[in-house]
Amino acid sequence: MKRRQFITLLGGAAAAWPLKARAQQPAIPVIGFLSLRSPAESADHVAAFRRGLAASGYIEGQNIAVEYRWADGLNDRLPGLAADLVSRKVAVIAATGGPTSGLAAKAATSTIPIVFIGNDPVRIGLVASLNRPGGNATGVNVFLQEMEGKRLGLLREIVPGASLIAVLLNPNGADVDVQRRDIDEAARAVGQPIHVLNASSERDIHAAFEALAGLKASGLLVGANPFFNSRREQIVILSVHYRIPAIYEVREFVVAGGLMSYGTSLPDAYRQVGIYTARILKGEKPADLPVMQATKFEFVINLKTAKTLGLEVPPALSARADEVVE
pLDDT tens figures, 83-99: 999 999 999 999 999 88
- pLDDT score of 19 more than 80: no
Tell me the CA distances in angstroms from 79 to 61, 84, 86, 95, 234, one per residue in order. 27, 9, 11, 12, 26
Q: Which residues contact 313 (CB under 8 A, 6 or more apart)?
A: 158, 301, 303, 306
Q: Mean pLDDT over residues 244-268, rounded?
A: 94
Q: Mean pLDDT over residues 175-191, rounded?
A: 91
- Each domain of the chain, given as residue ranges in start order, spans 30-143+265-296, 145-264+298-325
Q: 1.10.3720.10, 3.40.30.10, 3.40.50.150, 3.40.50.2300: which CATH number matches 145-264+298-325?
A: 3.40.50.2300
Q: Mean pLDDT over residues 227-256, rounded?
A: 94
More confident residue, 41 or 291: 291
For the chain, the 3-state helix, strand and coil shares in percent, each to the nearest 5, are 45, 20, 35
pLDDT at 25 (0 to 100): 53
- pLDDT score of 119 more than 90: no
- pTM to 2 decimals? 0.83
Q: Mean pLDDT over residues 304-311, rounded?
A: 95
Tell me the CA distances in angstroms from 19 to 6, 9, 12, 15, 22, one per residue in order. 21, 16, 12, 8, 5
How many of the other CB atoms lie within 10 Å of CB of 313?
Answer: 18
Common-topology check for domains 30-143+265-296 and 145-264+298-325: yes
Percent of the chain with pLDDT over 90: 76
Tell me the CA distances in angstroms from 111 to 87, 90, 114, 137, 286, one per residue in order. 12, 11, 9, 9, 10
Q: 3.40.190.10, 3.40.50.2300, 3.30.1330.10, 3.30.460.80: which CATH number matches 30-143+265-296?
A: 3.40.50.2300
Q: Which of 71-75, 198-202, 213-217 has the lowest mean pLDDT?
A: 71-75
What's the rounded Cα separation, in Å, for the pair 118 and 171? Answer: 17
* pLDDT class of 73 with cuts at 50, 70, 90: confident
Bridge partners of 30, per DSSP, are 65
pLDDT at 229 (0 to 100): 87
Q: What is the DSSP letter of 88?
A: T
* pLDDT class of 21 with cuts at 50, 70, 90: very low
